[in-house]
Amino acid sequence: MFRPWRWRDEHTNREAYYDGTKVDAPFNSEVLEDVLMMKSFGIPNGVYWIDRPWGLGKHGYDDFNIDENKRLPNFGKMVKWLEGEDQKTVLWIAPFFQGKMAEEGTTKGYTLAGQVSPASGNNFPMVDLSNPDAKAYWQAGIEKLLKQGVAGFKLDRGEENIPDDGPFKIFDGRTIRENRNAYTPMYVKAVYDVAKKNRGDDFVLLPRAAYTGTAQYSANWGGDVGGTQEGLRASIIALQRSAVMGYSSWGADTCGYNQQLMEQEVCGRWLAFSAFNPIMEVGPTRNVGFWNLPREPKYDATLIALWRLYARLHERLVEYGHAHAVEANKTGMPIVRPLFMADPKAKEAWTNWWTYLYGKDILVSPIWEKNKREQEVYLPAGSTWKDAWQTGKTYKGGQTIKVRAELHQIPIFIRAGSKIDLGDLDREWKESVEIAAKKPDLAAMQAEVKKWFAGQK
């Protein structure tokens, strides 16, 4: 979970890759394109997340059945191939019935009382998770996916279109108003229980919604934020707010979800910020990669280089992030720590809100405004801080400094005396720029996948 993630909002199985190379492989073309391009560039990835639609029916979600005809051919073997590439597969789910399950669930009274279908048909009919039989019926669908090797779920919705007023009661006797906030923990726990039954402790759940009781079962992501500089600003705040509210393992939709302008500077700054989120998830980038963007330059070598630089940096921090997650689980001390947690008596620790600690020993100061190349950073008192970009340069804590930060740089400071070694970031940036400039040979890489597939039983 603490390795980089990649996802798209929708996966189309195309006849050609972004560069015109004919698709002649056994898996979804866009999954292949992502994985092969990342591999070629040396961009590490630990989780591949497939959003809806992945199934049958209008909304791509009928009866928890994978659409292997049009969308995800040879799904089970694709999951196995991803495992061989050291990547886990995560799927989108939501707490409602579709397809034949909707008909049967409605007939058996398994649906949520008082709910009216929205015009879109989304989020309907929802499962009455207080009814043990309804929950078990829905969980059986989740189990079908787990048995195919799926290692986790993005738990979307859970807070949308839930009736919260009227005379109706849910199965266990509570009113629908009482059910309103309680529904999210029931949703998360229902998935947790069936995942634990099938995979032990080797799974992850990533809901959008949260309420008292969910944190013990899941991580979280920040929802459908705008892909603007203001969306990045909101995410910097949301990461820290979530941390102090008890939701320690959190990630932002890198480059945004709504208003996907794909501006190079906003997206580049977001990649750097996301490297210092417990969960670094990159996407959906309008269902494309940084190599075929819907604007010029379509092949954005700068963003590819930035992705490589910061994904590799995040990869080096896997054990560090995990160790702090264990601490958060035991003590409540979050992974991400606003400055006021480190230096509460200093006024600057409260006003320099864009700067935070990632764990105990790393301080970062994300830049969210376009065209900004200098940043004011408050360094907490009681420690000496080493500049990660200018090795050998140190600052005494308890002061605000102004540092230069080019587009590829996020201000990073390491607590003196710690064992943190982020490597030579300037050297890795130059190397990333050189690698990103060369377009990979997809035909040759595809041939290797076909060879692997031919050897499978």
Does residue 28 surpass a pLDDT of 90? yes
List, for residues 333-364, the tens digit of each pLDDT value: 999 999 999 999 999 999 999 999 999 999 99
Contact 264, 300 (CB under 8 A): yes
Residues 153 and 121 in one domain: yes
As given in the structure block, the two tokens for residue 153 are 């779920």
Residues 222 and 338 in one domain: no
Query: How many domains does one find in the chain?
Result: 2
Q: Determine, yes or no, domain membership for 429.
A: no
Q: Determine, yes or no, domain membership for 328.
A: no
For residues 212-219, give the mean pLDDT.
Answer: 95
Residues 11 and 145 in one domain: yes
With bands split at pLDDT 50, 70 and 90, how would you rate the model's confidence at 223?
Answer: confident
pLDDT of residue 118: 87
Q: Determine, yes or no, domain membership for 36.
A: yes
Q: Determine, yes or no, domain membership for 122.
A: yes
Q: Determine, yes or no, domain membership for 246.
A: yes
Residues 60 and 128 in one domain: yes
List, for residues 256-281, the tens digit of each pLDDT value: 999 999 999 999 999 999 999 999 99
Residues 414 and 445 in one domain: no
Does residue 122 surpass a pLDDT of 90? no
Does residue 40 surpass a pLDDT of 90? yes
Q: Which of 93, 89, 94 is nearest to 72 (CA)?
A: 89
Q: Determine, yes or no, domain membership for 428.
A: no
| CATH number, position 245 | 3.20.20.80
List, for residues 86-108, the tens digit of each pLDDT value: 999 999 999 999 999 999 999 99
List, for residues 47-97, the tens digit of each pLDDT value: 999 999 999 999 999 999 999 999 999 999 999 999 999 999 999 999 999
Residues 441 and 416 in one domain: no
| CATH number, position 376 | 2.60.40.1180
List, for residues 385-395, the tens digit of each pLDDT value: 999 999 899 99
CA distance 112 to 178: 13
Residues 351 and 231 in one domain: no
Residues 142 and 34 in one domain: yes
Does residue 455 surpass a pLDDT of 90? yes
Q: Determine, yes or no, domain membership for 268.
A: yes
Contact 217, 193 (CB under 8 A): no
Does residue 133 surpass a pLDDT of 90? yes
Does residue 119 surpass a pLDDT of 90? no
Residues 137 and 219 in one domain: yes
pLDDT of residue 359: 98
pLDDT of residue 73: 98
The DSSP line for 206-232 is EES---TT-TTT--EE--S-BSSHHHH
Residues 314 and 342 in one domain: no
pLDDT of residue 178: 97
As a whole number, the mean pLDDT across the chain is 97
Does residue 120 surpass a pLDDT of 90? no
As given in the structure block, the two tokens for residue 378 are 């408050």
Does residue 426 surpass a pLDDT of 90? yes
Q: Determine, yes or no, domain membership for 141.
A: yes
Residues 338 and 314 in one domain: no
Is the link from the previous residue into 44 a cis peptide, with omega within 30 of 0? Answer: no
pLDDT of residue 121: 83
Residues 192 and 61 in one domain: yes
Domain that residue 303 falls in: 5-321+435-454
Alpha helices per DSSP H over 200-336: 229-244, 264-274, 301-316, 318-331
